[in-house]
Structure 1
């Protein structure tokens, strides 16, 4: 009987159901994982292209062929593209490793600041490499086709790497801004759902504690009564049947 009453109360109160769903964090981690995989695939393609164009540029420069300049430009472009792909990949990989420690929002901000400073410092190395390229190009005694070629390629790679890190850290910052807003909304929804559940459970408990009212007593139906009167002389006698 108590089980039946409990089930009936549950239906009457209408306890809300909290539907299972993916958390904001799990969705973002999945998106970062997918992006890291795309970066890795692109990085392999860029590396293969760099190796190919590097060999072609070396051969063309050594032979002083007519298309040497074209081959060198292709090599410089490939160096920059490979550096850019690597910059994005290593930055995202570093962030994925960091986020596994479940840092606070403030700690994430600090990490972003640290990365920005590291990128800024690396930019100084890129500028120094460019100065080195300019210096060797202006010195006839140091001008060697292979040396200059590799130095220019190295600068192109470093410049691409720096740009890739900058673009990725900016994207991660945008991701984290969206993540923090979504996580607060998720927390608010969960809080509201559990508060509604708590209210429903409280109402159910109050319903269970109310005493059951006894049924009203049965009242026998009234029957029709008949009165008979008899008169004898001056006396009248009545009887009820």
Structure 2
């Protein structure tokens, strides 16, 4: 019997599945990418999917966009049906919002390579395979912790970096799916450069610093990503 596909919500053209797609290909998982930016509708049901992965985007969860509300509805349907949900950045915020938590402006925006520390006395190591690790960030908002969620990791400027709900669902503020091509795309775009240059946040790095750190830190980031995806895949249906 063929495996069920993993549904991937892609909100904008330059924030695709990246390393998640590479991992899925290596492990013979099929992705069904819902391209919101191209007019695809968010599915109403999750019955035909092994899991649900929600990617990032420049919009705020609090923006009055119908596809965001539809995505929250899909996340709740997935959780009710024990279909594992994985949220990257905006996707993590949408998972938090779907669980009733507030999304707000972060005390400090984060753009660039950020050190993450996991919380002791949690199951964080089973998700990340490391107690501390560098990971790529690009966000101005942050999620509150939903009721019943377990906070797994924090950074210097953003306490809520990752949480789990039960054993199946993971929300991340960071971009573990990042690739060198995505970093180049984001930091060379007019919008990306303008956002970096205008920021006064201590959590925002210069374009030069981001690119100088990428060759050494990207392999570490992708090892953590592989650990996350491997752990999350334990709950996939029909595999």
For the aligned pair, the TM-score class normalised by the smaller chain equals under 0.3
Q: Which structure features the higher share of strand residues?
A: 2
Give the number of the structure with larger relative contact order, counting CA–CA contacts within 8 Å between residues 6 or more apart. 1
Higher helix share: 1
- The TM-score with structure 1 as length reference comes to 0.24
